Every structure is written in C-alpha cells, then in structure tokens.
Amino acid sequence: MLKTRTGSFPIGFRRGWSDWQKDLTSMIAWSKSEDLHVLDLTGGAAEALTAVKEAGLRVGSVDLEGPWSDLASADAGKRRDALAKNAALIAECGAQNYFTVLLPEDSSKPRAENFKLMIAGLNEIGVILEKHGGKLVIEGWPGPGALGCTPESYRATLKESASKSIGINYDPSHLVRMGVDPIRFVEEFADRIYHVHGKDTEIIAEGFYEFGTEQPATLAKGHGFGSHTWRYTIPGHGCVRWVRAFEILAERGYKGCVCIELEDENFNGTEAGEKFALVSGGRFLASC
C-alpha cells in the first residue's frame, strides 16, 4: 500500500468519469496492482461500497447525493428531500467521510442570504452524520457563488455549524488557483481537515502579463482544467509544498488519506494517460 513518507497517510484516487473507471471490478483490480488502496466514490457509491471493501480497499470519501445546492435551497421541501435521501445514503454506506461542495441554489442572491440557508442545511445534516459517526468534507471548489472555499467562508461555516462533523476536504489546488496560501490554510484549519485531495496547480506567469486577472482573453485559448493563468496538475507538477502540508497534518493528528483527483490536460482523455498520471502522482506523494 502506498503511503506518504511524511505522516504515512494512505494514497489512492477519486473515481473519475472515464470509460475504464466505469468497470468497477477492473478498476479495483488495477488499483490494487499499483498499490493504490484508497478510493473516493462518486455517483452510485452505495452499490460500489461493498465491492471496494471486499477487495480490501479503503474508502476515502463518498459523494453526497445531489444536487448539492438543494441543502441550501430556500424551498423547505427541497431541503427536506435532500436531507431524506442523504440520510438514507449515510445510513446505508456507514462511511467515514461524505464529500460535497457548498453551492447555493441561486448564486444571484446576496451571499449573506445564501450563507444563512446553507448553515441551516448543514446543521440539519450534521445531526444525521453524528448519529452514524460520519463527517462532511467540504471541498473548496470556487464555483458560482460557492460558500465554503476561502479562509473567510470556511471560518464562518465552521463557526456557525453546530456539529464538529462538519469539516474540510483539503484540496490545495483550489487555494493556489485563488491566490490563497495553502500552507497557511492548513496551519489554520488542520483540526477540521478530515480528507485530502492530491491535486496541484501550476501558475502561468506569462498569462498574467498577457491577460491580467479581470478580463477573459479575446482570442487565445485557455488551458484544459484551468484558465490562461493557471491549470490543475497531478501532484508534483505544480507549486504545492506537499511535504510541509503533510508535516503540519501529522503534527495535528490527521489520520485520513490522500486521494488524487485527476484533472490535468497533459494526461486526461486516454486510459493509458490517466493510469500513468495516477501512478506517477501516487509515487510522487509517497516520496513526500
């Protein structure tokens, strides 16, 4: 089993959307053959969970049932339905971590208004998670109106959430993209980080000169899984200081995993490229 050199955190990957990853049996066999013994499960997690566990693999996280924005809906009926189906998922899976992104239903509303709706939903699902011993791991993807992705919004979310079951999926790639120091972030929030994504970001300095940050390019094509000034990469191909991040997590008692989320224009798109990237990223993390 691959583990990080610093902290001995087990290494795996997040199940993607490619055709080769849709064949669960084959994917599990390949994962074991490459010593990647952790899987993050996306859609259909309840059905996949048994096969993953029977194969001796660890589950890093399970995606909540979507649309995730329903947990922050102004429609009480939508919130009830979202809570009901996720309560059933949590009871059936019995996993440690449940993954989500805090997206509002209507990003045109004032952020403070959407924040109140989101906290109401989180406090309700927190009760369910505590009952089953689970944790919510919030990823900081800065999508439209995202409410938990910056230090300010994470800090407010954790302060207002009644349950310690509400935590963070530490994905430094999003922080780098936004210009947030990922090491300072892990120093501040390590106690509430329950899961880690192994994804990096390359900053493209020439893009800042050409396009700045306030306007889209007029003619130039941007990068896949990125823009004109940044792009997501496999661990080691960006600028994240992984060793230091792992040192802080180890010092603060982190007991979770590191799962590669593969979004890299240099590798995505072919089975051979994606497998090569996962293996390379896993070996790099094991050296950190």
Q: For the chain, how many structural domains are there in total?
A: 1
> What pLDDT score does 43 carry?
82
CA distance linking residue 30 with residue 33, whole number of Å: 5
Mean pLDDT rounded to a whole number for the chain: 96
CATH number at residue 53: 3.20.20.150
| 225 occurs within a structural domain | no
Tens digits of residue pLDDT in 166-207: 999 999 999 999 999 999 999 999 999 999 999 999 999 999
| 213 occurs within a structural domain | no
| 228 occurs within a structural domain | no
> What pLDDT score does 255 carry?
96
Global confidence as pTM: 0.96
| 141 occurs within a structural domain | yes
> What pLDDT score does 278 carry?
98
Domain that holds residue 185: 11-199+234-287
Confidence of residue 151 (pLDDT cuts 50, 70, 90): very high
| 101 occurs within a structural domain | yes
| 278 occurs within a structural domain | yes
Confidence of residue 28 (pLDDT cuts 50, 70, 90): very high
| 40 occurs within a structural domain | yes
| 92 occurs within a structural domain | yes
